Amino acid sequence: MSNNHEEQIRIVQETVAGKEITFAHVMGGPAPIVYQKLGLNPQVDYRSSAIGIMNMTPPESAVIASDIAVKSGNIYLGFADRFTGTLIITGEISDVMSALTEVVTFFRDSLGYVVCDITKR
């Protein structure tokens, strides 16, 4: 029997229920192409800029994290996804680091999340 349909791949993504920040990283002075490919604010002073990225579960936590981040300092909210738990912010290196620190501290101390260390490069 011949199959006239193209093969299709089915991908199933699962997350384990838990309260945790699984990834928090600051990229200091990323290349302008990174901003462009991510669709982030192109009017940034690339010499003193940074991109902060986080991932958390449950994914709706990204909404709370984005609120804390924008209230913590002069940062630009590049992306917040309540379906995957991803948050991307940009700004001056010190502002991005401060925002991620505020988010991690609040989630750990007030919400009882398990949190990772903030890495920086």
Nearest 5°: the CA angle 43, 27, 38 is 50
CA-based Rg of the chain, rounded to a whole angstrom? 17
For the residues 110-114, what does the mean pLDDT come to? Answer: 96
Q: For residue 88, with 0-12 CB atoms within 10 Å meaning exposed, 13-18 middle and 19 or more buried, which class applies?
A: buried
Would the pLDDT of 109 be above 60? yes
Task: Give residue limits of the domains in the chain.
Answer: 18-118
pLDDT at 18: 85
pLDDT recorded at residue 13: 65
What gap in Å lies between CA 14 and CA 101, rounded to an integer? Answer: 28
Looking at domain 18-118, does it have CATH number 3.40.630.30? no
| Tens digit of each residue's pLDDT (9 = 90 or more) over 41-84 | 767 676 779 999 999 999 999 999 999 999 998 999 999 999 99
Q: What is the pTM of this model?
A: 0.82
Question: Helices (H) and strands (E) in the chain — how many of each?
Answer: 3, 6
How much is the pLDDT for 50? Answer: 94
Under the banding of pLDDT at 50, 70 and 90, the label for residue 11 is confident
Q: Which residues make Cβ contacts (< 8 Å) with residue 17, sequence separation at least 6?
A: 57, 58
